[in-house]
Amino acid sequence: MTFNYSKLNGKIVEIFGSRGAFAKAMGWSMRTTSLKLNNKVSWTQKDISKACVLLNLTANQIDRYFFDELVQFDEPLVQKEGNRTEK
């Protein structure tokens, strides 16, 4: 499952000014932060809980910032010769 962290990135910059400052507050390297925000490494419950405190997020806002799923659309079907439909 892939998540859209664009709102989270915006909140991080709004509160901390940079991802680097957020990484430091979380006790992470910039690499770890980048991996998490780019869906390469999952967020743990502990990570999310700490980030919510640092970013002043309420329990009602967790879904919006951490569980906004990216939806991937398949290529549209194209009509080809002889009524065959191909991608």
Percent of the chain at pLDDT exceeding 90:
78
Q: How many domains does the chain have?
A: 1
Please state, in angstroms and rounded to a whole number, the distance separating the CA atoms of residues 46 and 7.
20
Render pLDDT for 34-66 as a digit per residue (tens, 0 to 9): 999 999 999 999 999 999 999 999 999 999 999
Q: How many CB atoms lie within 10 A of CB 65?
A: 22
Confidence (pLDDT) at 77: 56
Predicted pLDDT at 71: 80
- Are the CB atoms for 43 and 36 separated by under 8 Å? yes
Q: What is the CATH number of the domain that holds 19?
A: 1.10.260
Identify whether 28 is part of a domain.
Answer: yes
Residue 27 within any structural domain of the chain: yes
User: Whole domain around residue 36: which residue ranges?
Assistant: 6-66
> 11: Cβ–Cβ under 8 A, 6 or more apart, which residues?
55, 57, 65
Determine the pLDDT at residue 23.
98
Beta pairing, strands 85-86 & 78-79: antiparallel
